[in-house]
Structure 1
Amino acid sequence: MPLDNEIPPDSLIASHAIFTHDPAAESVFAPLRREDPLHRTKAPGHPEFWAVTKHSDIVEIGKRPQIYLNAPMSFLPSNDELSKTKEETGTNNYIRALTHMDAPDHRVYRGVTQSWFMPANLKRLDETIKAVVGEMLDRMASRDGQCDFANDIAPWLPLRVIMRLLGVPESDHPYMLKLTQELLAPEDPDQKRTASTGPRSVRAQVFQDFYDYFKVIVESRRKNPTDDLSSVIANMRIDGNAAPELETLSYFVTLATAGHDTTYATLAGGLLELLRNPAQLAILRTDTASISTAAEEMFRWVSPIKHFVRTASTDTVLRGKTIRAGDHLMLCFPSANRDEEAFDSPSKFHVIRSPNRHLAFGSGVHSCLGQHLARFEVRAFFAEFVRRVKKVELDGDFEYVQSNRASGPKQMPIRYSFN
């Protein structure tokens, strides 16, 4: 649905509603890229921040991690949210994960699992991923030619893969999906948690539910370690000592959420664009070698992570403007991925776009740990999809998740037939 044109641009930039309507974000970001690409944003109810809308500026920030820090916040909070978090934790966060760490901790903690997510190691997951893809296509085939792709299919492929790596039983996958949605879409009327079960805030309770669940897995893997990813995290040692509980549990939460939600958004958003651009789908059907470039274009187009925040550690200059120590910068990835100076015809969806230097996975030392797994999954799904599905079309209205953190289609009815 279109957004209210009376809402000031600064309020829209900070809002969760901006990504519920595809053209709305571009109607705000495109003028900024042209006229004020590093925009001092004063959104009522939020800390002031710089909106970074250009591709080259986000790349530059990624090259200077000692200046632009992950700490103290990874996503832009409201003032009320920030005040409540500080009241409950004494800090800006309920979590301390890779997205909150800077050197030297970031390098050390990332190194614990980095080899697991490199392409050479992921090849051993090839059969697992293909098997789950087959399950998803079989599920579609069993639905009499109709399903809500954003709910029935897209979440479950990456969810099943990452949860198997973490040793989470299939019976608990729906619970993990529910907690993820509550965490990443705290303003979406259909996905947010509406009330806490205790005296603490809703957000604190969502994190606590995650922690309570993964504490059991940590205890199990410490008593009886196996060769799975959970054992690596549960038994990790930092500077010769067992990792603190918060960092250990935060690692699980990050992998259990980012490990599937962003890929789901790309699967659903990617298929949506193929259906809105039938000629692009036809290219995939006739040239399967284009699957790889198509996957990259889907990541660019969807930009499932909508922003991260960096905080200046010292006074510095960016795009001729003085950034003061302590200033926050919102990295607006969907805007950077539509930047006219970085992409030819960025407002068009091209499955054979090359080169494609999108920033869907961030840039620099803080680029997404699981990006290679996400690529494996998206390529595997669409390779099998175009092989087995003969006809496919939208079968009703689609709707997006209301979140400025991670977002994709949340409702997407389709009609299809198999070969």
Structure 2
Amino acid sequence: MDLDEAGRVFTDPTAYADEKRFHAATALLRRHSPVHRVASDGFAPFWAVTRYEDVMAISRDAQVWHNAPRTAVSQDPSAPAPPVRTLVQMDAPDHPVYRGVSADWFKPAGVRRLSDRIAQLAKRFVDHMADLGGECDFVTDVAAHYPLYVILSLLGLPEEDFPRMLTLTQELFGTDDVDLARNPGDTAALETLLDFFQYFQTVIANRRAAPTDDLGSVIANAAVDGEQIGELEAVGYYVLIATAGHDTTSAAISGGLHALLEHPDQWRRLSADPGLVPTAVEEMIRWVSPVKHFMRTAAEDTVVRGVPIAAGEAVLLSYPSANRDEDVFADPGAFDVARTPNKHVGFGFGAHYCLGTHLARLEGRALYNELVPRLREVELAGVPEYMQTLFVGGPKRLPIRYTIS
């Protein structure tokens, strides 16, 4: 493939479902055009940034590089702003203020309070695997539900609503996948957001009328600059936490198991030494990189690796590419459950570093701490399939056959 063909993987949803093609393309770009201009039909032009060092430098500099107006490659920067604004679309001074609304809940001390509940849920879903009789789809039976239960319990939503939240999340992130999209039209994502808006309007009204001891109430009743948080901003907060708060973790957990099955020596190593679960979980996040990119827009004329970027031009920060950078990771194409150090950017970096980092790590560790000692044998029972996406994704099917205690 030539460089322009390699650059177009960032606008091709099928590329992220084809690991070999995607990583071959980004390796080519890292070597020969690490800041590469992409002009693809149907997309506003942008610069693809594929080297770890550059991704980190741009992520650190929130003064030069802004999130607004374009946070994802599919967005048209000249189009009207979306009606629901989340932390992802915010820059200073709004971003740190709104981030502070829930920050205490996601700090290590706040997350530690959830340890027992998360361990219980991990056991519940591994028990469910045992009840399924030795064969399941690890994505649809386990990985899609376990982190969903954690995050929606944190928000205080009723369990009977969890399936609806899962469907809406899959529709929102799966607009480019025929198996997950609500419909093939351009309005699919907007329709899904409208459903989220209507649902969370009711949550806001209920939490304001009768506050409860959960994160949902904290958001609904938050004060921003001395005034109650706006309804649109509150809805945006709920949508971000209820979707990214579980879908990315699901992708890392399921993609991590797939990696272990593809590297049986690493599965044997982890089984022999369950103390490696923390480093194994970090490697799963690096390997899968569930968030495929974020965009930044230059607030002023600048230069990246010798390439002039004009004010108003956008860059795509490719996290899967940065996480395979040969200058940073020893043998980056190898899955290593004991990889140390492992300074991946699976959670981003800088001002927009993932709010749920500590929670995601705790969930991954809890599930594999429960699963590894109990899983005696495991193998693929069919062909794994990955989500076609441009933004967030991982496996959508992982059929396995196993022996479990």
Give how far 1:52 is off.
Answer: 0.5
Q: Secondary structure at the match of 1:267?
A: helix
Pairs within 5 Å for 1:229-378 = 229-378=215-364
Give the aligned residue type for 2:263.
N
Q: Is 2:56 aligned against 1:59? A: yes
2:130 aligns with 141
Give the aligned residue type for 1:341.
D
Change (3 A) 1:6 1:120: closer
Q: Distance in 2 between matches of 1:276 and 1:5?
A: 29
State which drifts further: 230-239 or 11-20.
Answer: 11-20
2:85 aligns with 96
Unaligned runs of 5+ in 1: none
Give how far 1:7 is off.
Answer: 9.3
Q: Distance in 1 between matches of 2:399 and 2:336?
A: 23
Give how far 1:26 is off.
Answer: 0.8
Q: Distance in 1 between matches of 2:244 and 2:178?
A: 21
Q: Is 2:143 aligned against 1:154? A: yes
Unaligned runs of 5+ in 2: none
Scaled by the length of structure 2, the TM-score of the pair is 0.97
* Equivalent pair of 1:33/1:54 in contact (CA under 8 Å): yes
Give the aligned residue type for 1:270.
G
Give how far 1:226 is off.
Answer: 1.4
* Equivalent pair of 1:74/1:308 in contact (CA under 8 Å): yes
2:213 to 227, 230, 246: 227
Q: Distance in 2 between matches of 1:122 and 1:238?
A: 24
2:103 aligns with 114
2:116 aligns with 127
Q: Distance in 2 between matches of 1:401 and 1:48?
A: 24
1:21 to 18, 32, 38: 18
Give how far 1:339 is off.
Answer: 0.3
1:48 aligns with 45
Deviation readout 1:143-188 (Å, 9 max, x if unpaired):
1100001111101110000010111111111110111111111110
* Equivalent pair of 2:176/2:390 in contact (CA under 8 Å): no
Give how far 1:377 is off.
Answer: 0.3
Q: Distance in 2 between matches of 1:173 and 1:44?
A: 38
* Equivalent pair of 1:214/1:252 in contact (CA under 8 Å): yes
* Equivalent pair of 2:377/2:403 in contact (CA under 8 Å): yes
Give the aligned residue type for 1:389.
L
RMSD: 1.7
* Equivalent pair of 1:313/1:326 in contact (CA under 8 Å): yes
Q: Secondary structure at the match of 2:36?
A: strand
Give how far 1:289 is off.
Answer: 1.8
Give the aligned residue type for 1:147.
C
2:374 to 388, 411, 414: 388
Q: Secondary structure at the match of 2:100?
A: helix
Give how far 1:12 is off.
Answer: 2.3
Between the aligned residues of both structures, percent identity stands at: 45
Deviation readout 1:286-316 (Å, 9 max, x if unpaired):
2222111111000000000001111111111
Q: Distance in 1 between matches of 2:194 and 2:75?
A: 21
Q: Secondary structure at the match of 1:407?
A: coil
* Aligned residue pairs, count: 405
Q: Distance in 2 between matches of 1:210 and 1:336?
A: 33
Give how far 1:5 is off.
Answer: 10
Give the aligned residue type for 2:107.
M
Q: Distance in 1 between matches of 2:109 and 2:7?
A: 44
Give how far 1:55 is off.
Answer: 0.4
Give how far 1:202 is off.
Answer: 2.3
Give the aligned residue type for 2:183.
T
* Equivalent pair of 1:185/1:405 in contact (CA under 8 Å): no
Q: Distance in 2 between matches of 1:255 and 1:162?
A: 7
Scaled by the length of structure 1, the TM-score of the pair is 0.94
